[in-house]
Chain A
C-alpha cells in the first residue's frame, strides 16, 4: 500500500529553487510532496487553474466524481481505509455546497479530509458574483478548521498546515477555499515546506493512569467500552491486550466494530440502540465502565441517566472536550488512547473475576443476539452471512445508512480494524457506494463490499459510472425492501403503524440501472442457488451490483425506543 512516508526519496530533487510558479502549480506540487497520489473532485470555472496544473502532474491521479458529495465520500473512503488524510476538490458555489454533507460527515466521525474549493476572484468576493457562495462561512461549523487563502505565497504554509490539522489529535476535515486570482498569482518559491504531519500528543498523566489501573484492578464487574478513537489511534491490539489481561467483557460502538474480533470470547459486540440484549443488560449491571476513544453518543448510551447507572467511569480520549461532556468521569484521561493503553497495561493485574465472567456468559446464553433466517440467504441476516461466507478478513465492508447498516453491524463477522467503513455520527444515506470506491482506490488489492438499501443507493447512484470508469473492485449488495426501512420500522413501532412517505411506489429496475451505468449486475431473486451466485459474483474482478429483495416487514431488533434507557429494549 502506498504510504506517505516512503515518498520523499521519489521527489526529483534536481528541481531547482527558486522557481516562479502560479498558486495553482504550488497547490499541485504541495499535494505531490504531501504524498497524495489519488484525489477526487469535479472541476468548474473557479477551480480551473488548479485543474490545468493537475493535468500536468505525472504523480496525481484525479478521479472524476459525478457529484461533489460523491467525490467527498470517495476521499472519505480513502481516508477511512488508510487512516491518512485524503483530498477532494470542488469549484465555487454549488460545487462547494454539494461537498458540505461529506465534510460534515467527516467531522462527526473524525475523519482526516482536506477539501480544496475554488472561489471567485478576490475582487469579486462579496458582490454576489456568478457561483459565489460564502464557502468559508458555510464550512466553519462542520470543519475542524478552514482557510480562505489571501495570496499564493500563503499556500506554502496553509496547505501543509491543513494536513497537519486534519491528522493531528482527534482527526477531522479541513477546508481550503482558494480564490481564482490567487490560483493564477505568480510567486517565487525559494524553499518548499515540509509536508504536514500529525503533531505529537502530550503523554497521558502518569498519576491518572495509575489511579485508573487501581480502579480496574479493584472492580468487581468492569466493562471495556471501545469507540472509534481506538481505530483512529491504531490501538486495537492494545485494547484487546488490555481486555485479555484484565479479563474485561468488551463492548464496541458502531465506529469501533472490528477493533476486537466479534468472535473473541470477551466480545459483547455492539452496544446501544440495536445492540444485543445481553450487551445492554451487562452494561446495566457493570460497576466500572472503561471508555476508550468513545464519546457516549446517544445511539450508544440511550437515555444517559439510565446508562450504566451503577458504574464508575474511566474515560480516555484524545479530545479533552469529550471528557465530562455527557457523563462525568471519575477518572478522565486526555491523551492518545494507544499511548494510554500502553502505559496502563503493565499496571494491570489479572484477577479471577470468575463470578462476573460467569454472569456475562449467562447473559450471553439467555439473551443472545437473535438472527432469524441466518441460514436463508433470502432474509437480511442470511444474506449478510452468505456474503461473509464468501470472503475473508481482508475484505473491506462499507454500508449506507438504515436497516441494512444495522443488520450488517450486528451480523457481519468483523475482525479487523479499518475493515468496517460506515457513516456513524451524521448517518448519511448515500455514503456507502462512493466510500467503497474510495476504499478500493486506496487499497486495490482488497475486495470492497458495499451493503446498501434501495433508499440509500439512489442518493449517490450517479457514482456507479465512476466505479465503472475506474474499474474498482467494489461489490454492491443492494438489499431492496421497497421502502425507507428504518422509517417504516419506526412508523410501525412508534407511530401507530401510520405508514407515510416511507413505502416506495415507483421502483427502478436496479439491474438495468447498473448495467446502464456500465456496471454488471445480477439479481439474486432470479438465481436458483443464491450462495453459488454470490460466490461467483464476489470472486469476479471489477464493480458488480448484486440485487436482493427482502421483505418490507423485516425489522432491526432489538431496538431501544428513542429517548428510552438501553435496558428498555423492544424485541430480539
Chain B
C-alpha cells in the first residue's frame, strides 16, 4: 500500500463521491448499507457537519466498478441525501489525509 507505484495504480481505478446529507443519526447507516449489502467495499469515509450543522458532507472513496452508476442512483434515492457529486481519484480530499494513515 505504501509504495508510490501501487498507490498510483489504485488511484487510476478509484472514484471519490461527495454527498450532501441531512445531519442526523442514521444517515451514515443508510448510505453505507447500500454498499455493504452489495459486498461493495468503501475504501475511505470522511464526514463533517457543514455550516450550522443542519447538513453534513460525506466523502466516500470507492473502487471503480461496473456497479458504480447503479450505486450513485441508489444513493440519490435516499431521502436524507440532498446531492451527489462524482470526482476522479485525483481529488485531494483523501490525498491530504494520507499523512494521518502512515
**Cα A319 to Cα B74 with chains together (Å):** 10
User: Which single residue of chain B is at the shortest CB-CB distance from A146?
Assistant: B26
B70 near A321 with CB under 8 A, answer yes
Chain B residue numbers with a CB within 8 Å of A144 are: 79
Chain B: interface size category: 10 to 19
A–B pairs, 13, beta carbons within 8 Å: A140-B26, A140-B29, A140-B30, A144-B79, A145-B78, A145-B79, A146-B26, A148-B25, A148-B26, A321-B74, A321-B76, A324-B69, A324-B70
- The verdict on A3 contacting chain B, using a C-beta distance below 8 Å, is no
A325 near B70 with CB under 8 A, answer yes
How near does chain A come to B82, taking the closest CB pair, in angstroms? 14
- The verdict on B73 contacting chain A, using a C-beta distance below 8 Å, is yes
- The verdict on B33 contacting chain A, using a C-beta distance below 8 Å, is yes
- The verdict on B87 contacting chain A, using a C-beta distance below 8 Å, is no
- The verdict on A351 contacting chain B, using a C-beta distance below 8 Å, is no
Chain B residue numbers with a CB within 8 Å of A140 are: 26, 29-30, 33
User: Which single residue of chain B is at the shortest CB-CB distance from A145?
Assistant: B79
Question: Residue among A144, A146, A148, A321 with the most chain B CB within 10 A?
Answer: A321
- The verdict on B37 contacting chain A, using a C-beta distance below 8 Å, is yes
A321 near B29 with CB under 8 A, answer no
A141 near B33 with CB under 8 A, answer yes
How near does chain A come to B67, taking the closest CB pair, in angstroms? 10
Chain B residue numbers with a CB within 8 Å of A325 are: 70
- The verdict on A356 contacting chain B, using a C-beta distance below 8 Å, is no
A321 near B77 with CB under 8 A, answer yes
Q: Which of A112-166 contact B (CB under 8 A)?
A: 136-137, 140-141, 144-146, 148, 165
Shortest beta-carbon contacts, A-B, top 3: A321-B73, A145-B79, A140-B33
Supplied contacts A140-B26, A321-B70, 12 more A-B pairs, CB within 8 Å: A137-B29, A140-B33, A141-B33, A144-B79, A145-B79, A146-B26, A148-B25, A148-B26, A165-B79, A321-B76, A321-B77, A324-B69
**Cα A238 to Cα B26 with chains together (Å):** 41
Chain B residue numbers with a CB within 8 Å of A516 are: none
User: Which single residue of chain A is at the shortest CB-CB distance from B30?
Assistant: A140
Chain A residue numbers with a CB within 8 Å of B77 are: 319, 321
Q: Which of B64-102 contact A (CB under 8 A)?
A: 69-70, 73-74, 76-79
Chain A residue numbers with a CB within 8 Å of B79 are: 144-145, 165
User: Which single residue of chain A is at the shortest CB-CB distance from B75?
Assistant: A321
Chain B residue numbers with a CB within 8 Å of A306 are: none
Q: Which of B1-60 contact A (CB under 8 A)?
A: 25-26, 29-30, 33, 37
**Residues of B with Cβ closer than 8 Å to A?**
25-26, 29-30, 33, 37, 69-70, 73-74, 76-79
**Cα A137 to Cα B69 with chains together (Å):** 26
- The verdict on A320 contacting chain B, using a C-beta distance below 8 Å, is yes
Chain A residue numbers with a CB within 8 Å of B37 are: 141
User: Which single residue of chain B is at the shortest CB-CB distance from A148?
Assistant: B26
Chain A residue numbers with a CB within 8 Å of B74 are: 321
**Cα A137 to Cα B29 with chains together (Å):** 8
How near does chain B come to A463, taking the closest CB pair, in angstroms? 31
How near does chain A come to B54, taking the closest CB pair, in angstroms? 14
A320 near B73 with CB under 8 A, answer yes
Chain B residue numbers with a CB within 8 Å of A320 are: 73, 76
Instruction: Indicate with 1 or 0, residue by residue over A299-341, a CB within 8 angstroms of chain B CB atoms.
Output: 0000000000000000000011100110000000000000000
**Cα A148 to Cα B25 with chains together (Å):** 9
How near does chain B come to A221, taking the closest CB pair, in angstroms? 30
**Cα A145 to Cα B69 with chains together (Å):** 21
User: Which single residue of chain A is at the shortest CB-CB distance from B72?
Assistant: A321
How near does chain B come to A326, taking the closest CB pair, in angstroms? 10
Chain A residue numbers with a CB within 8 Å of B29 are: 137, 140
Chain A residue numbers with a CB within 8 Å of B76 are: 320-321
Question: Residue among B30, B74, B76, B77 with the most chain A CB within 10 A?
Answer: B77
How near does chain B come to A4, taking the closest CB pair, in angstroms? 22
**Cα A165 to Cα B30 with chains together (Å):** 16
Chain B residue numbers with a CB within 8 Å of A165 are: 79
**Cα A144 to Cα B73 with chains together (Å):** 14
User: Which single residue of chain B is at the shortest CB-CB distance from A170?
Assistant: B77
**Cα A165 to Cα B37 with chains together (Å):** 23
Chain B residue numbers with a CB within 8 Å of A319 are: 77
How near does chain A come to B62, taking the closest CB pair, in angstroms? 17
How near does chain A come to B84, taking the closest CB pair, in angstroms? 12
Chain B residue numbers with a CB within 8 Å of A146 are: 26
User: Which single residue of chain A is at the shortest CB-CB distance from B69?
Assistant: A324
**Cα A140 to Cα B76 with chains together (Å):** 15
**Cα A137 to Cα B26 with chains together (Å):** 8
**Cα A140 to Cα B73 with chains together (Å):** 17
User: Which single residue of chain A is at the shortest CB-CB distance from B29?
Assistant: A140
**Cα A145 to Cα B73 with chains together (Å):** 16
How near does chain B come to A550, taking the closest CB pair, in angstroms? 39
**Cα A324 to Cα B79 with chains together (Å):** 22
Chain A residue numbers with a CB within 8 Å of B30 are: 140
B26 near A136 with CB under 8 A, answer yes
**Cα A144 to Cα B29 with chains together (Å):** 14
How near does chain A come to B30, taking the closest CB pair, in angstroms? 6
**Cα A144 to Cα B25 with chains together (Å):** 17
Chain A residue numbers with a CB within 8 Å of B33 are: 140-141
**Cα A324 to Cα B70 with chains together (Å):** 8
**Cα A325 to Cα B76 with chains together (Å):** 15
How near does chain A come to B23, taking the closest CB pair, in angstroms? 13
**Cα A325 to Cα B77 with chains together (Å):** 14
**Cα A321 to Cα B76 with chains together (Å):** 9
User: Which single residue of chain B is at the shortest CB-CB distance from A172?
Assistant: B77
